[in-house]
Amino acid sequence: MQKTKVLIVEDDEVTATHLRLSLEKQEYEVVGITDDASLARSKIKIYNPDVIFIDISLQEGLDGIDLAAHINELYKKPFIFLTAHTDNDIIEQAKLTEPYGYIIKPFEPSGLHATIVMALHRHKEEQKRQNSINTLRQNKSSLEKLLYAKKLEDKPIVPFGNEYHLDISVCETFFENKKIKLTRKENAFIRLLVAQLGNVTTFEQVIKYVWDDNKATENSVRTLV
């Protein structure tokens, strides 16, 4: 089984060594140790660590916080802050980077594993949610293309049924040119069905398109219908 790779960014040599030994004892692979934020950026590219420990105040500054912001922007990797600070201003700045955990120095080795496990779990769940969002966006884009392919040549209107039509420019449904009063979810449901005229629409498709998440159930769809 492949070991979890860890990068340590810490400017106190004693703390860095203690952390490395503790992690290796718990079967983690420490791929690098550095006390420089710029060098840490290079090591992230080279070693692709699974989790990164960062001292908040590298070189008596806020380089650790800046590094965390950089990781969020480019790599989306889970990172855990190492800190001996109780300064509220520094903690508040650190919170803005949304770290995956904090280790207070001096630290207890027994708490490292649990902190890493929780950080990796949170990161995995965030990736799943992001993938779901991306898939939903792709599905919606495909549906919009289907709708536009069905519209009248010179108007944003898709006829369906007998005297019904959907105005795709405003997502409103009409009968005999009179608007039918529907809720936002009802209009979205009609839009989905019209886009897929001639095809079967599944419960899953309705839930993802109408509710934008997976909190709804098949009973929610039946109630809507």
Tell me the CATH number at 98. Answer: 3.40.50.2300
Distance CA 220, CA 225 (A): 9
Question: Are residues 46 and 102 part of one domain?
Answer: yes
At 189 the pLDDT is 87
Question: Are residues 33 and 71 part of one domain?
Answer: yes
145: in domain: no
Give me the domain span that covers residue 196: 151-224
Collapsing DSSP states into helix, strand and coil, what is residue 55?
A: strand
CA–chain centroid gap for 216, Å, is 20
| Total domain count, the chain | 2
Question: Are residues 160 and 119 part of one domain?
Answer: no
At 57 the pLDDT is 83
At 187 the pLDDT is 86
Averaged pLDDT, groups of 10, the chain, 225 residues long: 93 94 96 93 95 86 86 93 79 89 89 94 86 64 78 85 87 90 88 82 82 77 87
Question: Are residues 102 and 12 part of one domain?
Answer: yes
Tell which of 75, 94, 128 closes a domain: 128
Tell which of 96, 128, 160 closes a domain: 128
At 214 the pLDDT is 60
76: in domain: yes
At 134 the pLDDT is 62
Q: What global pTM score does this model have?
A: 0.64
Distance CA 60, CA 222 (A): 60
Question: Are residues 180 and 116 part of one domain?
Answer: no
Question: Are residues 220 and 160 part of one domain?
Answer: yes
Name residues whose C-beta falls within 8 Å of residue 186's C-beta, 6 or more positions apart in sequence.
224
Tell which of 81, 96, 128 closes a domain: 128
The residue among 72, 117, 75 whose CA lies nearest residue 99 is 72
Question: Are residues 157 and 61 part of one domain?
Answer: no
Question: Are residues 219 and 182 part of one domain?
Answer: yes
Question: Are residues 106 and 163 part of one domain?
Answer: no
R_g of the chain, CA atoms, integer Å:
26
3-state percent helix, strand, coil for the chain, nearest multiple of 5: 50, 15, 30
Question: Are residues 177 and 93 part of one domain?
Answer: no
At 144 the pLDDT is 77
